[in-house]
Amino acid sequence: MSNLQRRSGNRLSRTQRVDRIYKLGLTSAGGAVALVVGLVIGAGWLIALGLLALVGGGFLLRNTMR
């Protein structure tokens, strides 16, 4: 704790981070729903789209939480 200065850079405010986390959570949930629906009806393109949204949203969500 020898360096108590604020970090420089363009960081998001707390409210902006909360809003971004909420939106990424909705995106990930939508991807999960699309994945399940794609598996049930057997639509390969829907499975790929759902998997992409789920993984991409989860990765961005993890990075935002740091």
Categorise residue 7: left if φ over 0, alpha if ψ from -120 to 50, beta otherwise: beta
Q: Which pLDDT band holds residue 9 (cuts at 50, 70, 90)?
A: low
Q: Answer yes or no: pTM beyond 0.95.
A: no
12-47 tens-digit pLDDT: 888 988 898 898 888 888 888 888 888 888 888 888
Predicted local confidence at residue 52, as pLDDT: 86
